Structure 1
Amino acid sequence: MRSPRYLLAVLIALLPVPAIRADEFALRDGDTVVFLGDSITAAQTYGKIIENYTLLRYPDRKVRFVNAGVGGDTAAGGLKRLERDVLAHKPTVVTVAYGINDIGWGTKADAEHRKAYLDGIRGIVEACKKREVRVYICSAAATAEDPAKSEAGYLQKMCDDGMELSRSLGGHAIDVQRAMRGIQKSIWAANAKVADKAKHDTLHAPDGVHLNDLGQLAMAYAILKGLGASADVSAVTIDADGAKLGAAKGCAVKDLVSREGALEFTRLDEGLPFNYGIFYALSYRYVPVPSELNRYLLTVKSLPKDRYEVTADGRGLGVFTAEQLAGGVDLASATADPWQPGGPWNAQANALKALTDARYEVLSAGAQLRAAVPGAPVTGQLEKQSGEFDTKIVEMQRNVAKPQPYRFVVKKYEPPAKKDGK
């Protein structure tokens, strides 16, 4: 029989997520965020997604990010290296993601290893609280185990205890595993319709524990929601009858005019949509980024019944009916050509991703050199140069992520002329 504590955790996970205002996002101006964990964290992927999301959505907040993941690590190991790898960076926020190595990938799921895990979690939370660091204990990422069975598995129950322990000590908790399991269930449902198992989608590498890119996105999504990331980027409502502005949320609209049958206006957003490459939206079939983290809305009412082309700074976003525009369309990842990024904010996001990847490549090079030849002159020289590079590239990241005024045009769609009478 399940304990009342376990049942309460399940019920909380099943409750609908309340709407969260943008000012409730947990990462604040001036924060230093350290991601502490094992190889899933050391892969850097979910951390970079959170970093890019924060830069795009909250460009007015200067937040610094540090990855402190180590392959094979456990909560006990994280506690041992906490001072050197985490607190030395003077963090204000620490996320902690352990569990799977703590029970030896399931081979050591016993009371002894559960105690070691909880002792490590207690020590990390207490040390962070002592330094006035806001600490978030995350449940372990979901494994490839059948999601209908893993809910009652040892790993989830142990992580439930770790999250409850964090809350009891004044820390925070994010149930990554249950959030990922919900995504995993939708994947399994889709796979059930595909006979060829080689074409099945998954969150995992072949070992069933480490995450592929889709799994890392799912983990980033879970943590962002746990940090209070808002669903809405911005929203504009316009009445085409008289070219009147109805509402502008999260942005400013000016120079709204109707001329030659087209609506035109300039939109300056407070933050930008999150995009991650031309084909990344394919992952949104399973990870609800568009509806939960990335709504960039345009609503145009009172248009005559017809089809309308929407552009931003001359870039095609698509063709929509008057009914669609009246109901509101999400332009975050919209594009008139699936082989090209859509709005200019999409190109900004792509450039930001390249800069963030470059930042971590340089940091990784320094870490490898320190581990191999810690006393060599080249190591010290690279550390100095990489520090200067990091300062500069962070400045570049923030410049690229800064919202720009975009000129939107909504006009009746004219199909391209047919060639050779065809």
Structure 2
Amino acid sequence: MKKILVLAMAIFIACGTTLAQHVKPFREGERAVFLGNSITDGGHYHSYIWLYYMTHFPDMPIRILNGGIGGDTAYDMNKRLDGDIFSMKPSVLMVTFGMNDSGYFEYNGDNGKEFGEQKYQESIKNYQMMEKRLQGLPDTRIVMTGTSPYDETAQIKDNTPFKAKNETMKRIIDYQRESAAKNGWEFVDWNAPMVALNQQNQQKDPSFTLCGNDRIHPDNAGHMVMAYLFLKAQGFAGKDVANIEINASKTQTVKAENCIVSNIKKIGKELSFDYLAESLPYPLDTIARGWGAKMSQADGVKVVPFMDEMNREMLKVTGLKGAYRLLIDNEEIGTWNADELAKGINLAAESKTPQYQQALTVMHLNEYRWEIEKNFREYVWCQFGFFQEKGLLFANDRKAIEVMDENLEKNIWLKGRRDMYSKMMFEAVRDAREQEMDVFINKIYEVNKPVVRKIVLRKAER
């Protein structure tokens, strides 16, 4: 607990006024699009954010959409606004850029400082073109989002950092902040708090990084931290899944927040009651998913106080003596003594509970949905990363395939997407895949509804 509090303080200090700035929570029916580069394209942070809404607001369907393309700068993003981003009809648009805009290798050359200044000026010029387009969207709420950092301080074998690259990125973020203030837009930053967390953890493990082995692409844990920071900016710290307090000696409910407690009974050595929450606990994936991934989503909550702030399903029972076995729907969860129960236990940290298992179903359905959406982002990359410059944007014909094949050996990224594009170029295939994604989303909002659970505390035999 002390370690978590220290880390929370580090985040607060690093963020300054950033976390104090409020990003309005998404509302029912909204379409929230995250515009970005490969960190958004292949990343999970937006999926993790949506998972929070899926579990904590089961009766409030929204859509969160991936608007990332690998390798993009602000210039590239501006070119695809109409054909890609605006076609998603966003009611809320998060805008992040800076990783590719700020450049790479030249920082370690003889003119690194001059290079950083040049890339900064280019980035701002490109963003200003986009800014004009965004100003023409009166019905779309804009949230400027400071990019996740380039980690210059981690000790990574065979990976020499680009000196002062993140300093250029911070200048870009400062400009975004100023743009947001000028235009009446919202703003949230990932860079400063993630830098602070990296440096805090590197004091014990110099190789630690939330930004991946390449210092650029956050691992699953990094994306969970990004999701936490965004949700914190939306004001969800302190919102419990549920909070129950029962006085066993009086067989009374003392507290029932975000839930209904009924039918309390105490018979002999057993206390039981019915419990209907309004939310599900937030499930955490324990598998390090993705090529080269070393950390899982669950590893992210080891460095930020997500569980204490946003994932508390508290059960507190006073008036007991001895140890008690906890059962939910006849599933044994564990054994706690009376003092522990009187202090309260966080059921959201217990993966055996039926409600957590229900939430895991939502998580896995969301992961399948993410995989389909990622397929669409690969298709869009082909359009804007290759065909646009060839004058074949959305041509999707035999000529497009021929031009693609002529360039496969020159472009490894194109070659890796050839098979996918040969299928997705057909409208019927894309329609079918859209419908497939809708099936998963509809199923999520069908199975994410909390149900009445029977909770039993049974005196443990010595």
TM above 0.5, yes or no, is: yes
- Out of 269, 273, 276, the position equivalent to 1:268 is 276
Contact 2:32 / 2:65 at 8 angstroms: preserved in 1? yes
TM-aligned CA distance change 1:252 to 1:126, over 3 Å: farther
> Take 2:458 and 2:31, find their aligned partners in 1: how far apart are those partners?
45
Pair 1:130-2:136 in alignment: yes
Contact 2:209 / 2:215 at 8 angstroms: preserved in 1? no
Cα deviation, residue 104, structure 1? 0.7
Alignment of 1:247-262 (within 5 A): 247-262=255-270
Equivalence for 1:322? 338
- Out of 294, 307, 311, the position equivalent to 1:290 is 307
- Helix, strand or coil at the partner of 2:348: coil
Contact 2:51 / 2:366 at 8 angstroms: preserved in 1? yes
Contact 2:31 / 2:63 at 8 angstroms: preserved in 1? yes
Equivalence for 2:169? 155
Cα deviation, residue 129, structure 1? 4.7
> Take 1:328 and 1:18, find their aligned partners in 2: how far apart are those partners?
30
> Take 1:182 and 1:88, find their aligned partners in 2: how far apart are those partners?
37
> Take 2:262 and 2:435, find their aligned partners in 1: how far apart are those partners?
40
Q: Deviations over 1:92-130 (max 9, x none)?
A: 111122111111137475344323333444554553453
**Alignment-mate amino acid for residue 116 of structure 1:** E
> Take 2:271 and 2:129, find their aligned partners in 1: how far apart are those partners?
59
> Take 1:234 and 1:345, find their aligned partners in 2: how far apart are those partners?
12
> Take 1:16 and 1:67, find their aligned partners in 2: how far apart are those partners?
24
TM-score, structure 2 normalization: 0.76
341-350 vs 369-378, which deviates more?
Answer: 369-378
TM-aligned CA distance change 1:288 to 1:230, over 3 Å: closer
Cα deviation, residue 30, structure 1? 0.8
Equivalence for 2:457? 410
TM-aligned CA distance change 1:366 to 1:134, over 3 Å: closer
Contact 1:129 / 1:171 at 8 angstroms: preserved in 2? no
> Take 1:285 and 1:412, find their aligned partners in 2: how far apart are those partners?
33
- Out of 249, 252, 263, the position equivalent to 1:244 is 252
> Take 1:413 and 1:324, find their aligned partners in 2: how far apart are those partners?
14
Cα deviation, residue 53, structure 1? 1.2
Equivalence for 2:182? 168
Q: Deviations over 1:21-43 (max 9, x none)?
A: xxx96111010011110111011
TM-aligned CA distance change 1:160 to 1:254, over 3 Å: same
> Take 1:368 and 1:39, find their aligned partners in 2: how far apart are those partners?
11
TM-aligned CA distance change 1:314 to 1:169, over 3 Å: same
Equivalence for 2:441? 394
TM-aligned CA distance change 1:92 to 1:144, over 3 Å: same
- Helix, strand or coil at the partner of 2:308: helix
> Take 1:84 and 1:274, find their aligned partners in 2: how far apart are those partners?
35
**Alignment-mate amino acid for residue 101 of structure 1:** N
Equivalence for 1:344? 354
> Take 1:105 and 1:97, find their aligned partners in 2: how far apart are those partners?
18
Equivalence for 2:26? 27
Cα deviation, residue 173, structure 1? 0.7
Pair 1:214-2:216 in alignment: no
Q: Deviations over 1:36-66 (max 9, x none)?
A: 1011101131111111111111112110121
Which fold has the larger relative contact order, with Cα–Cα distance below 8 Å and residues 6 or more apart in sequence? 2
> Take 1:390 and 1:51, find their aligned partners in 2: how far apart are those partners?
14
Equivalence for 1:311? 327
208-217 vs 76-85, which deviates more?
Answer: 76-85
- Length, aligned pairs only: 388
- Helix, strand or coil at the partner of 1:191: coil
> Take 1:357 and 1:345, find their aligned partners in 2: how far apart are those partners?
19
> Take 2:458 and 2:33, find their aligned partners in 1: how far apart are those partners?
47
37-46 vs 121-130, which deviates more?
Answer: 121-130
TM-aligned CA distance change 1:249 to 1:396, over 3 Å: same
Cα deviation, residue 382, structure 1? 0.8
Q: Tell me, which stretches of 5 or more residues in structure 2 are unaligned?
A: 1-11, 108-114, 155-162, 288-296, 384-394, 399-421
> Take 2:106 and 2:251, find their aligned partners in 1: how far apart are those partners?
66
Q: CA RMSD in A?
A: 2.9
- Helix, strand or coil at the partner of 2:104: helix
Equivalence for 2:319? 302
Contact 1:256 / 1:264 at 8 angstroms: preserved in 2? yes
> Take 2:133 and 2:50, find their aligned partners in 1: how far apart are those partners?
24
Contact 1:281 / 1:333 at 8 angstroms: preserved in 2? no
> Take 1:89 and 1:249, find their aligned partners in 2: how far apart are those partners?
37
Contact 1:333 / 1:342 at 8 angstroms: preserved in 2? no
**Alignment-mate amino acid for residue 304 of structure 2:** V
TM-aligned CA distance change 1:11 to 1:76, over 3 Å: farther
**Alignment-mate amino acid for residue 340 of structure 2:** Q
- Helix, strand or coil at the partner of 1:356: helix
Pair 1:45-2:92 in alignment: no
**Alignment-mate amino acid for residue 449 of structure 2:** K
TM-aligned CA distance change 1:353 to 1:11, over 3 Å: closer
Cα deviation, residue 368, structure 1? 4.4
Determine what percentage of the aligned residue pairs are the same residue.
Answer: 25
> Take 2:131 and 2:337, find their aligned partners in 1: how far apart are those partners?
53
